[in-house]
């Protein structure tokens, strides 16, 4: 395949974390063990995985808790550095990993749109140009001048997702961001993501909601104990996953 058709290339990616064997909480324990050396166990989260993502793919990543899904997304986003291997990105990335990062509860929804938009890489002029579309998508017109601390969790997600979706990057990374919120808005967001995919954007979607993965993704990657257990058509990979649980 020509490199111009690829969105992401992942080559022999590995990542481990060191976990201390014991925790010492009391002052007496800290003094007693002052000169002792903590020991650690190395936990390999990702173990030499390789795959490619085509431009316009809607890739679902599934697997049990601890299989490495979120770690993989954070490496793709540049938050974590791999121990070995490399990630080659053909385009700019917009990570939907923690929606609303930088939001201030003491500011209004209106002010937080500008604040979050700038954090996500937009200029003030760009936020202003997309401001009405962001509010319209969130459907929070009546509440946009209220302080964020008065928003429900669902309203918070609506506002944060609406800002992020208008950043207009080539690759969107999503980690369970639609787990909170009402069913109507979730469907609206997925419809918008599918529209962006038809425009040629690439979406990588980590979720435990297998129905959403099956309905929206054109390819699914299954992680198991840090390795790729399967990658391919959604129905086939999800059926295999259900059979090995």
- Predicted confidence (pLDDT) per residue in 53-102, tens digit: 999 999 999 999 999 999 999 999 999 999 999 999 999 988 877 777 77
Residue 61, by phi and psi: left (phi above 0), alpha (psi -120 to 50) or beta? beta
| Mean per-residue pLDDT, 176-188 | 77
Kindly state whether residue 204 falls inside one of the protein's structural domains.
yes
Size of the chain, expressed as the number of residues it contains? 245
Q: Give the domain CATH number at 71.
A: 3.40.50.300
Kindly state whether residue 168 falls inside one of the protein's structural domains.
yes
Kindly state whether residue 62 falls inside one of the protein's structural domains.
yes
Kindly state whether residue 170 falls inside one of the protein's structural domains.
yes
Kindly state whether residue 174 falls inside one of the protein's structural domains.
yes
Kindly state whether residue 9 falls inside one of the protein's structural domains.
no
Number of domains in the chain: 1
Supply the range of the domain harboring residue 230. 57-83+92-244
Residue 29 has a pLDDT of 59
Distance CA 59, CA 24 (A): 42
DSSP string for residues in 217-245: -SEEEEEETTEEEEEE-HHHHHHHHHHH-
pLDDT over threshold 90, residue 34:
no
Kindly state whether residue 49 falls inside one of the protein's structural domains.
no
DSSP-derived secondary structure letter, 147: B
Kindly state whether residue 111 falls inside one of the protein's structural domains.
yes
Distance CA 214, CA 194 (A): 13
| Mean per-residue pLDDT, 193-220 | 92
CA distances 12 to 48, 57, 85, 193, 203, Å, are 4, 21, 5, 29, 21
The pLDDT confidence band at residue 25, using thresholds 50, 70 and 90, is low
> If DSSP codes are grouped into helix, strand and coil, which group holds residue 146?
coil
pLDDT over threshold 60, residue 1:
no
């Amino acid at each position: 395949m020509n490199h111009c058709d690829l969105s992401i290339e992942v080559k022999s990616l590995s990542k481990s974390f060191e976990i201390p064997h014991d925790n010492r909480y009391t002052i007496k324990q800290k003094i007693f063990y002052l000169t002792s050396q903590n020991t650690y166990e190395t936990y390999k989260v990702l173990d030499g995985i390789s795959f490619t993502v085509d431009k316009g793919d809607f890739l679902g990543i599934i697997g049990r808790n601890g299989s490495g899904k979120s770690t993989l997304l954070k490496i793709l986003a540049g938050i974590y550095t791999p121990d070995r291997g490399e990630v080659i990105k053909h385009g700019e990335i917009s990570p939907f990993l923690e929606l609303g990062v930088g939001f201030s509860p003491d500011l209004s929804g209106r002010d937080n749109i500008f604040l979050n938009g700038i954090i996500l890489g937009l200029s003030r002029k760009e936020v202003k140009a997309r401001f009405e579309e962001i509010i319209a998508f969130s459907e929070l017109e009546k509440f946009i001048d209220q302080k964020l601390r008065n928003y429900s969790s669902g309203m918070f997600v609506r506002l944060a997702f609406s800002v992020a979706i208008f950043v207009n990057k080539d690759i969107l990374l999503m980690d369970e961001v639609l787990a909170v919120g009402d069913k109507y808005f979730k469907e609206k967001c997925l419809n918008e993501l599918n529209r962006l995919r038809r425009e040629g954007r690439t979406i990588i979607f980590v979720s435990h909601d297998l129905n959403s993965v099956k309905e929206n993704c054109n390819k699914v990657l299954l992680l198991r104990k840090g390795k790729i257990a399967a990658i391919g058509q959604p129905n086939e990979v999800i059926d295999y996953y259900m059979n090995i649980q």
